[in-house]
């Protein structure tokens, strides 16, 4: 068996085209504010990619770049100013923040109505209650890809590797909301391959390059690779793609799988936030 390679780049582009059409129908452009603190190289690439994609979709996007040593109170003041600015529909604070900053405090400062990353505790609660209007972009992107290859997710056994606040935890909630049977695993899980081998759907988001091997995967499983690491100058995921493609029925590549979907979902969330705030 050779797996279907899920083309996240193409699917994300289609979603962005549809969103651009929708945005054209509104009298005001949505506005996304991106706060970036410090000079983390990867963060710089991510925020510029987000801005480029937003502008191409007809969404105004401004990057507020602060120096690495900016005091926490100054970052909070900027977020408060963006909260009060009625032109701003969505605010994201690019993570990771520098070590001297309390990340939770900054994220909780964002108004819920503008929290398009959905990282605030109240947004996480809404997700687990299955009443969220929008949720975190990366796991939303994963659900969108899964629905394309697996029209009914109900009853499927989904195994998630990784328990981060950004991916693993919201991923588990979303799969549960789709009526999957969900198993969460992480770095302390004993005998991980025995568990992953039971998965109909395997979502890997642990940041360990090529961790998942062929003998970890059930024949015909759908495997989604959220990992992205640089090894010998090359981007690789958490799944050994060449091995796993021989057993999976469908698999995402890295790059070109989940990554582009994250941006498309962030833009969708920004439009949703605008519609909710402006009662459109």
Smallest gap from Cβ 84 to ligand GUN, in A, equals: 20
Q: Where are the alpha helices (DSSP H) in the chain?
A: 8-24, 41-56, 72-84, 103-109, 121-128, 137-149, 168-177, 192-196, 241-244, 258-277
Smallest gap from Cβ 142 to ligand GUN, in A, equals: 12
Smallest gap from Cβ 46 to ligand GUN, in A, equals: 6
Nearer to ligand GUN, 58 or 141 (CB): 141
Q: Pick the catalytic residue: 50, 120, 156, 245?
A: 50
Piece of the chain touching ligand GUN by CB under 6 A; list 57-65, 91-99, 143-151, 181-189: 91-99
- 159 makes contact with ligand GUN (CB under 6 A): no
Helices 258-277, 41-56: inter-axial angle, 10-degree rounding: 60
Structure tokens at 229: 């690491």
What is the C-alpha to C-alpha distance for residues 116 and 104, in angstroms, rounded to an integer? 16
165 as an active site residue: the answer is: no
Binders in 92-131 for ligand GUN, by CB under 6 A: 92-95, 117
Asked if 214 contacts 240 with a C-beta cutoff of 8 angstroms, the reply is yes
109: Cα separation from own chain's centroid: 21
Tokens 């900053």 map to which residue?
101
Asked if 218 contacts 200 with a C-beta cutoff of 8 angstroms, the reply is yes
Smallest gap from Cβ 96 to ligand GUN, in A, equals: 7
- 140 makes contact with ligand GUN (CB under 6 A): no
Q: Pick the catalytic residue: 94, 114, 115, 238?
A: 94
Binders in 23-52 for ligand GUN, by CB under 6 A: none
How many residues bind to ligand GUN according to rule CB under 6 A?
9
For 4-35, the DSSP string reads EEP-HHHHHHHHHHHHHHHHHTSSS--EEEEE
Binders in 246-265 for ligand GUN, by CB under 6 A: 262
CA distances for 39 relative to 53, 153, 203, angstroms: 21, 40, 30
Binders in 162-191 for ligand GUN, by CB under 6 A: 166
**109, 138, 177, 269: residue in contact with ligand GUN (rule CB under 6 A):** 138
80 as an active site residue: the answer is: no
94 as an active site residue: the answer is: yes
- 270 makes contact with ligand GUN (CB under 6 A): no
- Active-site amino acid positions: 50, 94, 117
Q: Which residues of this chain interact with ligand GUN, rule CB under 6 A?
A: 92-95, 117, 137-138, 166, 262
């Amino acid at each position: 068996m050779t797996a279907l390679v899920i083309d996240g780049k193409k699917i994300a582009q289609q979603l962005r085209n549809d969103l651009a059409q929708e945005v054209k129908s509104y009298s005001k452009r949505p506005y996304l504010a991106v706060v970036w603190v410090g000079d983390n190289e990867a963060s710089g690439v991510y925020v510029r990619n987000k801005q480029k994609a937003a502008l191409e979709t007809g969404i105004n996007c401004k990057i507020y770049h602060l120096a690495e040593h900016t005091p926490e109170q100054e970052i909070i003041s900027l977020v408060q100013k963006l909260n009060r600015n009625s032109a701003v529909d969505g605010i994201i604070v690019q993570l990771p923040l520098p070590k001297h900053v309390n990340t939770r405090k900054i994220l909780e400062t964002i108004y819920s109505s503008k929290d398009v990353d959905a990282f605030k505790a109240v947004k996480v609660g809404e997700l687990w209650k299955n009443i969220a209007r929008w949720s975190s972009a990366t796991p939303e992107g994963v659900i969108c890809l899964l629905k394309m290859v697996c029209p009914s997710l109900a009853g499927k056994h989904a195994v998630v590797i990784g328990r981060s606040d950004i991916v693993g935890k919201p991923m588990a909630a979303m799969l549960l909301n789709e009526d999957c049977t969900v198993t969460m695993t992480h770095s302390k899980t004993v005998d991980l391959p025995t568990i992953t081998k039971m998965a109909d759907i395997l979502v890997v988001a642990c940041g360990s390059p090529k961790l998942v091997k062929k003998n970890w995967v059930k024949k015909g499983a759908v495997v989604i690779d959220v990992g992205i690491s640089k090894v010998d100058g090359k981007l690789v995921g958490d799944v050994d793609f060449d091995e796993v493609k021989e057993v999976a029925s469908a698999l995402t590549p890295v790059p070109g799988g989940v990554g582009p979907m994250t941006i498309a979902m962030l833009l969708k969330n920004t439009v949703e936030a605008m519609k909710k705030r402006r009662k459109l």
